[in-house]
């Protein structure tokens, strides 16, 4: 859509100007064209949305592995390097950028704050930043976060499963209705008409 943004904005502006006509046509068309331009500019491309959703789906597994690596006695930097190498995917790619920064001596709070701004990895970044600033044990925070993220993912899966049943009702009804009419109602009506002598 972004590639054809000038065309969509022009067409929508022309359509609004045609629809409004009169003295409001020019300002209304211009306002509509600008609004369409802004909406399309802010729209997230499909590839970016898919990568963000994949990173969001991978996050519980990544956090679980990170908690296990920390529980095994690894330092946070070693645990991050180990986990990002073991679990490929969009979440690991985003998290892998933190490892070289930490190894170079960048303040961990700054790294975790940057991670907290990432839409997919924000929960992990917030927990790590909080643990860094308060001195709380990272292992317990990671274990709690892994459980919370796993429950969120289970809830999302259950919601999607319920939505499938609702979405399937209309197509199934449309498929079964003709057969119900042909096999259930037409013979009864034909039998009744036959007994009436019509």
Tokens of 88: 């490929």
Residues 117 and 78 in one domain: yes
Q: How far is CA 9 from CA 13, 22, 38, 42, 80, in A?
A: 6, 20, 9, 14, 45
- pTM over 0.85, yes/no: no
Residues 141 and 98 in one domain: yes
Residues 12 and 80 in one domain: no
Number of structural domains, the chain? 2
Asked, for residue 171, whether it belongs to a domain, the answer is no
**What pLDDT score does 42 carry?**
77
Contact 45, 57 (CB under 8 A): no
Contact 128, 115 (CB under 8 A): yes
Residues 53 and 37 in one domain: no
Local structure of residue 22 (DSSP, 8 states): G
3-class DSSP state of 12: helix
Asked, for residue 166, whether it belongs to a domain, the answer is no
Residues 34 and 78 in one domain: no
Asked, for residue 184, whether it belongs to a domain, the answer is no
Query: Which of 88-92, 116-120, 193-197 has the lowest average pLDDT?
Result: 193-197
**What pLDDT score does 1 carry?**
66
Residues 61 and 90 in one domain: yes
The average pLDDT across 79-106 equals 87
Give me the domain span that covers residue 37: 5-43
Asked, for residue 79, whether it belongs to a domain, the answer is yes
Contact 138, 66 (CB under 8 A): no
**What pLDDT score does 198 carry?**
60
Give the pLDDT confidence of 28-83 residue by residue, as tens digits: 888 888 998 888 877 767 777 788 888 888 888 888 888 888 888 888 888 889 98
Asked, for residue 123, whether it belongs to a domain, the answer is yes
Q: Which residues contact 69 (CB under 8 A, 6 or more apart)?
A: 78, 79, 82, 83
What does 87-100 look like in DSSP terms, one character per residue?
Answer: S-SHHHHHHHTHHH
Residues 39 and 54 in one domain: no
Asked, for residue 95, whether it belongs to a domain, the answer is yes
Residue 24 pLDDT grade (very low, low, confident, very high; cuts 50, 70, 90): confident
The average pLDDT across 179-184 equals 85
Give the pLDDT confidence of 103-124 residue by residue, as tens digits: 998 888 888 888 888 888 888 8
Residues 57 and 22 in one domain: no
The average pLDDT across 147-159 equals 86
Asked, for residue 18, whether it belongs to a domain, the answer is yes
Q: How many CB atoms lie within 10 A of CB 34?
A: 13
3-class DSSP state of 193: helix
Asked, for residue 28, whether it belongs to a domain, the answer is yes
3-class DSSP state of 105: coil
């Amino acid at each position: 859509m972004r590639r054809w943004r000038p065309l969509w904005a022009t067409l929508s502006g022309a359509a609004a100007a045609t629809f409004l006509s009169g003295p409001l046509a020019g300002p209304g068309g211009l306002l509509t064209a600008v609004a369409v331009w802004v909406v399309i500019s802010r729209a997230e491309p499909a590839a970016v949305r898919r990568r963000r959703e994949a990173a969001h789906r991978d996050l519980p597994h990544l956090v679980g592995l990170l908690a296990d690596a920390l529980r095994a006695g690894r330092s946070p930097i070693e645990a991050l390097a180990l986990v990002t190498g073991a679990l490929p995917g969009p979440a690991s790619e985003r998290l892998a950028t933190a490892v070289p920064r930490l190894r170079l001596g960048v303040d961990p709070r700054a790294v975790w704050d940057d991670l907290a701004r990432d839409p997919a990895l924000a929960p992990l970044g917030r927990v790590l930043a909080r643990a860094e600033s308060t001195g709380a044990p990272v292992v317990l925070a990671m274990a709690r976060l892994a459980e919370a993220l796993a429950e969120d993912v289970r809830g999302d899966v259950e919601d999607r499963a319920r939505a499938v049943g609702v979405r399937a009702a209309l197509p199934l009804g449309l498929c079964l209705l003709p057969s119900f009419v042909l096999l259930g109602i037409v013979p009864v009506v034909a039998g009744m008409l036959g007994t009436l002598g019509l």
